[in-house]
Amino acid sequence: EVQLVESGGGLVQPGGSLRLSCAASGFTFTNDWMAWVRQAPGKGLQWVASINQDGTGKYYVDSVKGRFTISRDNAKNSLYLQMNSLRAEDTALYYCARDIEPGGQGALVTVSS
């Protein structure tokens, strides 16, 4: 059974940083692109970033370019999202996704003073 478990969410002030982690199991992690998808309160789904199998290809939605960094550790079956210069509009539930398929409960990130 595919499992994706997000962690690292929390309350942070505008301009602050957070690092999300995702522990993957139940599939061959190194075979798949991975992604982060977010959902602001009461809003629809928004893709945030994707990374290819060996980590050499990284893609971001325009609104997070230069602020967020996606990475992976294939030895640990883990995906990460380093979020810097956080803004109020980054407040959302962040889902770890296999390709574009979210698999966990999400990590809540709240950016507020």
Partner 1 sequence: QAGLTQPPSVSKGLRQTATLTCTGNSDNVGNQGAAWLQQHQGHPPKLLSYRNNNRPSRISERFSASRSGSTASLTITGLQPEDEADYYCSAWDARLTAWVFGGGTKLTVL
Nearest approach, Cβ of residue 95 and partner 1 (Å): 6
For residues 83 and 106, which CB has a smaller minimum distance to partner 1 in the complex?
Answer: 106
**Nearby residues of 18 by Cβ (< 8 Å), 6 or more positions away:** 8, 9, 10, 12, 83, 86, 109
Pairwise CA distance, residues 84 & 103, whole Å: 24
Q: Which amino acid is at 44?
A: G
The stretch near partner 1 (CB under 8 A) out of 16-24, 55-63, 69-77, 78-86 is: 55-63
Q: Which letter, b or e, does each residue of 51-75 get, where b requires 16 or more Cβ atoms within 10 Å of its Cβ?
A: beeeeeeeebeeebeeebbbebeee
CB of 59 to partner 1, least distance (A): 5
| Minimum distance of partner 1 from residue 62's CB (angstroms) | 6
Question: Between residues 105 and 112, which has the closer beta carbon with respect to partner 1?
Answer: 105
Q: Is 100 in the site for partner 1 (CB under 8 A)?
A: yes
What residue ranges bind partner 1 (CB under 8 A)?
Answer: 35, 37, 44-47, 50, 59-62, 95, 100-102, 104-106
